[in-house]
Each structure stands twice: as C-alpha cells, then as structure tokens.
Amino acid sequence: MKKAFILLPLAAACASQFVMADTTDSQRLAQLEQELAILQEAISYDSLSDRMSINGFFTGKVGVASNDAGYNGYDKEADFSEGSKLGIQGSFALTEQTKIVAQLVARGSDDWSTEMEWAFLSHDFDNGFVTRIGRLRVPLYMYSDYLEVGYAQPWASPPSELYSIVPLSSFDGVDVIYDFELGEVAVALQASYGHADRDTGETLGEVDYEDILGASASFSYEEWVFRTTYYQTTLNTTTPGQLGQFFDNEQSYFAGVGLSYDNGSLLAISEFAVSDVEGQYSDTQSGYITLGYRISDFTPYVTYAFLETTDDSERVNPADGLQKALFDWQRTAYSVGTRYDISSNLALKADVTYATDFGDTSGGLTSNIVAKNDDTIVYTVSFDAVF
C-alpha cells in the first residue's frame, strides 16, 4: 500500500513528460511544482505512519460480593464499573533510538475520568541500555507493566492480597534498564528514582511519596522467570485526612520476589512481598501461588493467597483502638476460575474467590470494619480486549 501510494505520483511525473512538449515553460514549471508537492505529501504521510503507533485495551467487568464485607471494591450490589477500564497507548519515534510513549486510562471506578498513567521519553543506546524520563510504572510486581491490561493477565483480577499493598502504580522520574545475556539466562536490570503525589482516600488524605528509589532484577531461563525487587520512599501527608497529619517523614520500603513457570500448557506463578512503614501504618507480609493448565482455548486456574500485618503488637494500647481497627489485617483467599480465549485479542474470564480467616480483624477490608463478617465470597466476570 505504501509503495503504491509513492509510485502513483512517480508514474504521474513520468507520464507528464510525454505531454510537456506541447506546453509552455511556465505551464511545465507549475505542473512540476504540483507533482513535487504531491510527492512530498506522500513521503510525509508515509514517514508519520512509520513513526507512530497506537494501541489500546478494554476491560468490562462485573462483580458482586456475598455480604457487606465486600471484596476488591465490590459489595452486595452487582457493580459493572469498579473494575472496568479503557486505555489508549501511543508512541512516536523521534529517531530510530528515541521515542515518546503515552498511556491514557479511564476507569469506571473514577466515573471514567481520564488519567495519564505513562508519559515518558525513551532512548535506546543500542548497547543494552535504555533510559526513560517522565511518568513511569513502579515496577514492584511481576505484572506491573501489564497492571492495567487485563488481557495480559491469567486472572479476572490479580490477587489483591499482594497487588493492593502499595496504593501507587506510577511515579514521575527516571529509570535505566539494562538487558544482557548471561550464558543461557536473559537478565534485565532496572533502577528508578522519582516522586509521586496521591490521594489515598478520606482516612489518610493526600500523601507525597518523596525520593522513590529502588531496583529490580529479572532472570529468564527457558520456561522459568525469577524476579526480585526493592523500593523505598519517604511519606509525608500533604492534605490531612480523618487521621490528620498521619505521615511525617516516615520511611517505608517494599521488597518482593517472584517465580513463574510457563511451558505453554502448565502455568505456575508465585510472588511474596514484605512492606514496612515507620509509625502506626501497617507492616505486612503477603503472597500467592497460582496454578493453571491450558486446555484448548480454556485456562482453568486455582489461587491461594494470604495477607497479614506483622506489627499488631505496636497497637495494643486501648487508645489505639481506631488505628488497630484500621491497620491490623489478616486474610486468606482461595480462588477458582477460568480464562476463555475467544480470539487472539479477546478473552472472557470468570472467577470465584472465597476470603476468610480474618481473625479478630476486618480482614483488611475497609467496609468490614463495621460489618464484622468472618468471611466473604466475590463473583467476578471479566471481558478483556486489546486492539
């Protein structure tokens, strides 16, 4: 198509030579100028199409919980907006090694207001090093890069026992990625630095994540992938919530490891992480393991996940009653579900998750602080597409 588009004005230019003999010099000049303009326009359009690419994704999701404890933002009323989202990602190559990438995401849970998740300039040094500057993803988890793209995940929703620990998905800053081969092992190292401001809700208000600094390493060998990450930051409350100026230069860190195996039929994924925050906010340990098996277009899976706080003993004073209710967590979740690949870019997923073992806590479910249920079940159906 591109060749045809270019060759058409060229053919017109060649054909015009046979009629030039009967025209004046000024007419020939005007005709050549017109043909040159057509040719330049064709080249310009062709260049833009080569430099620019636009992709997108969509998730339509409905979920309902069995009681007032709720789960993943769902309650007893079927909700079609909580997990639904639409994303558009575009990239424009400034040169063969430098490009601009932006990703806009509109979420049903935010009344479909649009948010810039990615917006960065990337340069590939052609020696394994890539550096990016702008708004970037925080690479805490194995699926961090695909956190918004439901089609790229095996689950209807990633295990919230791990993936909801840090209420931050992106930051403004810079990172450096270095890919190289170590024998038969593909290694990817990534280091990042930046900051972020986020509204964390009515309880804690707006929080400034200062000096976000960390690194991750990924090792791939045949069907195996091992990943480890460590990130730290300093937390400051910028707009007080219900608990007032809750964070005041509190140091925090997140450390995690992950392992996956995928031979095309058997799928196994597991991650474990610890997080620590100075002061009264929860210190946690959490993890999950997922096993799945592809049978034609179906991938049934089961998941076991857990979450628990590790600093409950710091909130034993009766005066800490509210903070104990808010920040002591304990939960175990069992999920069973399946993915059905409708086509190469469409997938339908169904999931049932049973969360229990809350102990004397809310289970880390805000809506359960008052409801005080011992367990909950959430049913989820998700339709995911990429385009």
Residue pLDDT, tens place only, 209-230: 999 999 999 999 999 999 999 9
pLDDT tier, 44 (very low <50, low <70, confident <90, very high otherwise): low
How big is the CA angle at 277 (ends 309 and 320), to the nearest 5 degrees? Answer: 65
Least confident of 3-17, 108-122, 135-149, 326-340: 3-17
**Angle, helix 2-16 to helix 25-51, in steps of 10 degrees:** 170
In the chain, the amino acid numbered 122 is S
What global pTM score does this model have?
0.84
Mean pLDDT across 27-42:
66
Mean pLDDT across 349-371:
93
* SS3 letters across the chain: CHHHHHHHHHHHHHHHCCCHHHCCHHHHHHHHHHHHHHHHHHHHHHHHHHHEEEEEEEEEEEEEECCCCCECCECCCCECCCCCEEEEEEEEECCCCEEEEEEEEEEHHHCCCEEEEEEEEEEECCCCEEEEEEEEECCCCCCHHHCCCHHHCCCCCCCHHHHCCCCCCEEEEEEEEEEEEECCEEEEEEEEEEEEEEECCCCCCEEEEEEEEEEEEEEEECCEEEEEEEEEEEEEEEECECCECCCEEEEEEEEEEEEEEECCCEEEEEEEEEEEECCCCCCEEEEEEEEEECECCEEEEEEEEEEEECCHHHHCCHHHHHHHHHHCCEEEEEEEEEEEEEECCEEEEEEEEEEECCCCCCCCCCCHHHHCCCCEEEEEEEEEEEC
- Cα 238 to its chain centre, rounded Å, is 25
Specify the pLDDT at position 18. 36
Contacts of 125 (CB under 8 A, 6+ apart): 97, 131
**Which residues on neighbouring strands pair with residue 307, listed in sequence order?**
286, 331
